[in-house]
A and B are shown apart, each in its own frame.
Chain A
């Protein structure tokens, strides 16, 4: 590119941003459509069925809403939680592991404390999961602050260690293993006792779980936490410039550790919610939310309202694919992952096009 170079563009207008993103998403859908047509699937029909998440032509549309929310709640909480770390440029990719640890700890409480009244059990489950996963985050943050240990790789390793812990619990039929169903001959996770099940309120035909309300409330709380509290303020300053944070007398290490604790703890709590909602745990309890959360956080540029919107859209995508797989057996939830990835890449290209422009170099007249 002789004679050309890139110049950073300033003052991108909001409408330009939206326009570029919409184009990016459209391009992604076109790529998806091409892939679908290779399987002899009519993309328009498929997309219609996907976007309506099985609400129409369905005997029980309320089930569709409930199913969507079951995907939405963990995704929202995990994305919000991860975004807290990313705001400080701390690469917590341990969502999967933290989620599993939260779910396991919640299950312990569910089985061991079932004599307590319902709401209390769920509160305890959430709290225990919150603390357990939080401590993992704290440990990783401590290593990062103290020894500059690579947090990406550490959290990555923790994901798999946690995965094999839950696999071990799932596969080991032993008398001590209270997680498993005593009745079943093959190892199978037991159902939680009733008090540990996530309750809900009926709105029309829809059973609206409290976890949905809590997740939404959490979104609002995190929004205000970041926007209005001293701790939230510290996060923004540290995330913007650690030099400036030190100049203002902030203890950067402590702020990082506190925030990563919170980040991991919330992921753990989402794990507890998922366990309580399903009234059991499984080795696939995360439903890849730890990975999807990274994509959602990134797509929404770490903005809290953005995360709410994007995680809803991604949930529609994921649940829609599930719903559509009823009619299209050969396309399953993986198509949602595929689209997700393509959308993220399209948005990255859109961002680049928004932020840079190519400039031709001027040559002075030869004298």
Chain B
């Protein structure tokens, strides 16, 4: 153990909950002076929450913080700045309409800055120069590229004399060259005596930049290791945990032909970045396809795109021989595709939290039935059936979903999706935040669906569960396919390596590209034609603001794939 005086920061027994969700459980962490510490962990492991407590955005429920050996209380960002902690948040905290200099000067403490003179640009540029940055201080943030904004954020932190610098996923938005530059900057800062925490999940970067690695898993502190004495394999193990044999049933039945085929799918994220990148895969009836990947690898965008909630940039989604890419969500539901996504706050997508269970159960079919009235009688009966079938603990069907406990909320959501008797069930993070028993109940539900011949796509966080539950696992990294593997033919470590982009098995098998079905509903020519049209459509939409040409091309693409279905029917 290092000498106490060498520690820039020491966290002891820090805990933080949001409602019933424990984001951090008794975490201990140390940061040595002048080191780069990588904070490693999967999605939802509590890294950002922990760091936000250092930056004063959250207040811990319990635990203590020591800076330079002194116990401190950080109850606001002001405290944090004063204590020499600076954080570069993943979502930049910049005023878009201000110049770079003004963004920095927001926090200025009035010494010699009562008036904002023209000389402030020069002054800021000089300071930037001293830290080794070249910036245009008069440039408006709205006109900046992402990397410029990040430089500005780092400069902001340095300007206020931060000794400890925290960077939350700084490389997520950068190109390879920019990452290299960033790392040079970090090394330089380290040489100058700064202590740095970098939140990341990219193992190669951890190995390259850090001195030590602290690992969190599911809100708990796991271990801290010296980077020089470890390797990617060990880190992956720490991050995902050792394989635990879970007693999850894994029934097997005859698989059908592919129900849902996705080819070359590209989808943009909220920031306009490419979130899903030319992804191809398929789901058969009677199988559970796991989707593994690190936080924000495009899982959410993929689910939303399939469900029709997000615009598709390029590619095709074939269901029942028809291209459903670009259809409205209602039409996709009618196709028998059900999607349930549990976001990090566990409410929101797909649920109206203030409405009753009944009202949430009827969400997708309230239009059914003649007349202007909502058929709540059937809805209530269905809600009752779901409550009974899934053992939902609730005083009645009429209670607001918000008031249920997490597990029960998730059962309501999943129950509704199952109730619509889908042939493809997409479920993302269905056990997020649940205890063991509730989780097992959810696994049972998924297995039952599989036995009914439904094709299930399971987007998960816990690799042990996925290894036990799924028939195949598709691994994505930055929206790109890293391979599709049978769970009986792969180790957890291999999946971990694929998740972090170290291992790619797409073309590992000779004569078979992962994600492309041999018995596809369409012929190779039809795929090619359809994709050509889809690409043309995407191109046209970028090209032509009115989208007129684009829409036309889409119709053609859709018409064609419909046509091919008919042809196939005639053949068989």
Contact = CB atoms under 8 A, between A and B. Distances in A.
Judged by CB atoms under 8 Å, the answer to whether A and B touch is: yes
Interface of A: 1-3, 5, 10-11, 228-234, 236-237, 240-241, 243-249, 361-364, 366-367
A3 B74 CA distance: 9
Contacts of B13: 364
Q: Is the interface of B mostly helix, strand, loop or mixed?
A: loop
B348 A241 contact: yes
A364 B64 contact: yes
A2 B75 contact: yes
A173 to B, nearest CB: 49
B348 A361 contact: no
The 6 A-B residue pairs with the shortest CB-CB distance, nearest first, are A249-B330, A240-B352, A362-B62, A364-B13, A249-B329, A248-B363
A230 B374 contact: yes
Given A237-B355, A247-B307, A247-B329, A366 B71 contact: yes
Given A3-B73, A367-B12, A228 B376 contact: yes
B363 A2 contact: no
Nearest to A367: B12
A25 B354 CA distance: 27
Given A3-B73, A366-B71, A240 B64 contact: no
Most buried by A among B307, B353, B366: B366
Contacts of A5: 59, 75
A248 B62 contact: no
A126 B350 CA distance: 40
A229 B374 contact: yes
A240 B355 contact: yes
A363 B331 CA distance: 54
B353 A229 contact: no
B351 A233 contact: no
Nearest to B350: A247
B132 interface: no
B569 interface: no
Interface string B52-75: 000000011111100000010101
A236 B364 CA distance: 14
Contacts of B12: 364, 366-367
B59 A233 contact: no
B328 interface: yes
Contacts of B567: none
A236 B329 contact: no
Interface string B401-424: 001000000000000000000000
B452 interface: no
B122 interface: no
Interface of B: 12-13, 59-64, 71, 73, 75, 307, 309, 328-331, 333, 348-355, 359, 362-364, 366-367, 372-374, 376, 403
A5 B61 CA distance: 10
Contacts of A363: 62-64
B372 A231 contact: yes
Contacts of A1: 75
A366 to B, nearest CB: 7
A244 B363 contact: yes
A140 B333 CA distance: 33
A96 B364 CA distance: 38
A48 B245 CA distance: 76
Contacts of B374: 228-230, 232-233
A244 B59 contact: no
A230 B352 contact: no
Given A231-B372, A237-B363, A247 B73 contact: no
Nearest to A233: B374
Contact of B352 (A3, A244, A361, A362): A244
17 contacts: A2-B73, A2-B75, A229-B372, A233-B362, A233-B366, A236-B355, A241-B348, A246-B309, A247-B363, A248-B329, A248-B363, A361-B59, A363-B62, A366-B12, A366-B64, A366-B71, A367-B12
Contacts of A232: 374
A363 B12 CA distance: 10
Given A240-B353, A361-B61, A364-B64, A3 B363 contact: no
Contact of A249 (B328, B355, B362): B328
A338 B349 CA distance: 43
Nearest to B401: A240
Given A237-B355, A366-B64, A3 B75 contact: yes
A86 to B, nearest CB: 14
A228 B374 CA distance: 6
A151 to B, nearest CB: 22
B413 to A, nearest CB: 11
A241 B360 CA distance: 12
A247 B352 CA distance: 11
A50 B437 CA distance: 61
Nearest to B334: A249
Contacts of A361: 59-62
A21 to B, nearest CB: 20
Most buried by B among A233, A234, A247: A247
Contact of A244 (B71, B75, B351, B403): B351
Contacts of B330: 248-249
Contacts of B348: 241, 243-244
B10 to A, nearest CB: 10
B66 to A, nearest CB: 9
Contacts of B73: 2-3
Contacts of A231: 372
Contacts of A241: 348, 351-353
Contacts of B364: 248-249
A246 B363 CA distance: 11
A364 B14 CA distance: 8
A364 B354 contact: no
Contacts of B359: 233, 236-237
A213 to B, nearest CB: 23
Contacts of A229: 372-374
Nearest to A245: B352
Contacts of A234: 366
A183 to B, nearest CB: 49
Contacts of A11: 403
Contacts of B352: 236-237, 240-241, 244-245
B350 to A, nearest CB: 5
Contacts of B331: 249
B309 A10 contact: no
Contacts of B366: 230, 233-234, 248
A10 B354 CA distance: 13
A246 B311 CA distance: 13
A237 B356 CA distance: 11
A3 B348 CA distance: 31
A228 B403 contact: no
Contacts of B75: 1-3, 5
B309 A230 contact: no
Contacts of B351: 241, 244
A231 B307 CA distance: 23
A230 B160 CA distance: 56
A316 B561 CA distance: 68
Contacts of A230: 366-367, 372-374
Nearest to A229: B372
Nearest to A225: B372
Nearest to A237: B352
B12 to A, nearest CB: 6
A310 B63 CA distance: 47
Contacts of A362: 61-62
Given A230-B374, A236-B354, A248-B364, 14 more contacts: A2-B73, A3-B73, A3-B75, A228-B376, A233-B359, A234-B366, A237-B359, A240-B355, A244-B352, A247-B307, A248-B330, A248-B366, A249-B331, A364-B63
B70 to A, nearest CB: 12
A5 B59 CA distance: 8
A5 B376 CA distance: 42
